């Protein structure tokens, strides 16, 4: 049975990476940096730029690349969850028996090792919260992670249980009479009605205006932080300003990949808004958006000081974008504010590495 520990122990000399091109490219960078002696073979499937969430993969279309490879070479299968089992079955039907499906645990293991090596070269120190030594006796600091829910969410096998450190908040409540969470985003000062464009950010806005905790976090119904109670306990003994998921390495630059894939009509307007409203970030935006790092999904846990500073910077930019763009006819493309915020979050926190004390935590994808 193939295992990530086989990589770490140097037991693998050849490896096939089989999967979606963004996963394959990311893994190639991890493995080449960490284990340069491994002979890598790539069998990748391109994504459709126009509707990336609806891409279907015809697995037989890459059989000509698999056929010449020796059947005893280990295969690392890396697709989104809905395609993993089908892909593994197909690879095994071709005679490959040493297969392993890439998952969140493996991604976190390889990503941490890669980031420790590569991230400091460009952005300074790379800290992981769980590895930071205690700096003082425990203090009384409140923390809550607010998990976004929507009445249209798909059913899933696993959930993040609400409890001492997790509450659920429903987005787009101004647009429905059906409620599925503990809190709703249309109470008090809110932008709930803008949810089709803002996605989880209508909840983030509500938290900025109403959440009482010292540290306020946002996660999705499926993309969540790992070990939330451990995060809360660690925040009592170390001093950090912001907790972010470990950044993702893009196969292309932000400009070539993310902007063209998710917001082709909108990204020039985003750059104009930055130039007009945040000119001090123009040079940084050119560097960041021509780089390949991303803080994805708008996930974060922020101190009240950082939350006020970041949200106070972010939402005026998004409001101006919305004013200039308006509604897009394609519902997927109309989520452009949520997509823009991911790019702005990346810009803000990569640019402010020296201004805020930032540490990183692991995230999981619940199926």
26 near 251, Cβ under 8 Å?
A: yes
Query: How is residue 128 annotated by DSSP?
Result: B
Tell me the whole-structure pTM to 2 decimals: 0.88
The domain made up of 123-365 has a fold known as Spore Coat Polysaccharide Biosynthesis Protein SpsA; Chain A (3.90.550)
Residue 282 three-state SS = helix
What confidence tier does 367 reach under pLDDT thresholds 50, 70, 90? low
Let me know the angle formed at the C-alpha of 23 by 283 and 260, rounded to the nearest 5 degrees. Answer: 45
Two tokens, residue 217: 């976090």
Maximum distance among all alpha carbons in the chain?
63
CA 48 to chain centroid: 20
The domain made up of 4-118 has a fold known as Rossmann fold (3.40.50)
The number of CA neighbours under 13 Å toward the Cβ of 163 is 7
**How much is the pLDDT for 161?**
67
Q: What is the pLDDT of residues 206-236, one digit of tens each?
A: 999 999 999 999 999 889 999 999 999 999 9
| Backbone phi and psi for residue 250, each to the nearest 5 degrees, phi listed first | -80, 150
Is the pLDDT at 77 greater than 90, yes or no? yes
Mean pLDDT of 170-192: 96
**How much is the pLDDT for 129?**
97
66 near 60, Cβ under 8 Å?
A: no
Closest CA to 335 of 352, 314, 350, 318: 318
Domain ranges (residues) in the chain: 4-118, 123-365
């Amino acid at each position: 049975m193939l295992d990530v520990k086989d990589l770490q122990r140097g037991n693998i000399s050849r490896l096939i990476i089989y999967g979606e091109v963004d996963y394959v490219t990311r893994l190639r960078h991890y493995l080449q940096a960490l284990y340069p002696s491994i002979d890598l073979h790539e069998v990748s499937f391109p994504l459709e730029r126009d509707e990336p969430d609806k891409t279907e993969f015809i697995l037989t279309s890459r059989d000509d690349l698999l056929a010449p490879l020796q059947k005893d070479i280990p295969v690392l299968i890396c697709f989104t969850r809905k395609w993993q089992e089908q892909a593994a079955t197909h690879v095994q039907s071709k005679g490959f028996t040493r297969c392993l499906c890439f998952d969140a645990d493996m991604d976190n293991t390889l990503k941490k090792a890669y980031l420790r090596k590569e991230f400091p070269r460009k952005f300074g120190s790379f800290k992981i919260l769980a590895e930071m030594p205690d700096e003082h006796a425990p203090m009384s600091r409140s923390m809550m992670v607010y998990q976004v829910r929507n009445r249209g969410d798909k059913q899933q096998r696993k959930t993040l249980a609400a409890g001492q450190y997790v509450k659920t908040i429903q987005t787009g409540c101004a647009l429905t009479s059906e409620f599925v969470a503990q809190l709703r985003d249309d109470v008090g000062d809110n932008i709930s009605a803008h949810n089709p464009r803002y996605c989880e950010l209508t909840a983030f806005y509500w938290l900025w205006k109403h959440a009482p905790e010292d540290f306020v976090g946002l996660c999705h119904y499926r993309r969540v932080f790992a070990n939330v109670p451990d995060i809360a306990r660690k925040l009592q003994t170390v001093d950090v300003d912001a907790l972010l998921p470990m950044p993702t390495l893009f196969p292309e630059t932000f400009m070539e990949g993310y902007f063209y894939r998710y917001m082709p009509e909108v990204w020039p307007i985003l750059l104009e808004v930055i130039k007009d409203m945040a000119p001090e970030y123009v040079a940084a935006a050119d560097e960041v958006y021509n780089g390949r790092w991303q803080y994805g999904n708008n996930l974060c846990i922020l101190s009240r000081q950082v939350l006020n500073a970041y949200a106070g910077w972010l939402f005026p930019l998004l409001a101006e974008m919305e004013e200039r763009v308006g509604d897009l006819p394609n519902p997927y493309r109309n989520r452009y504010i949520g997509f823009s915020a991911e790019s702005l979050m990346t810009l803000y926190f990569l640019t402010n590495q020296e201004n805020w004390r930032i540490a990183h935590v692991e995230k999981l994808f619940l199926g």
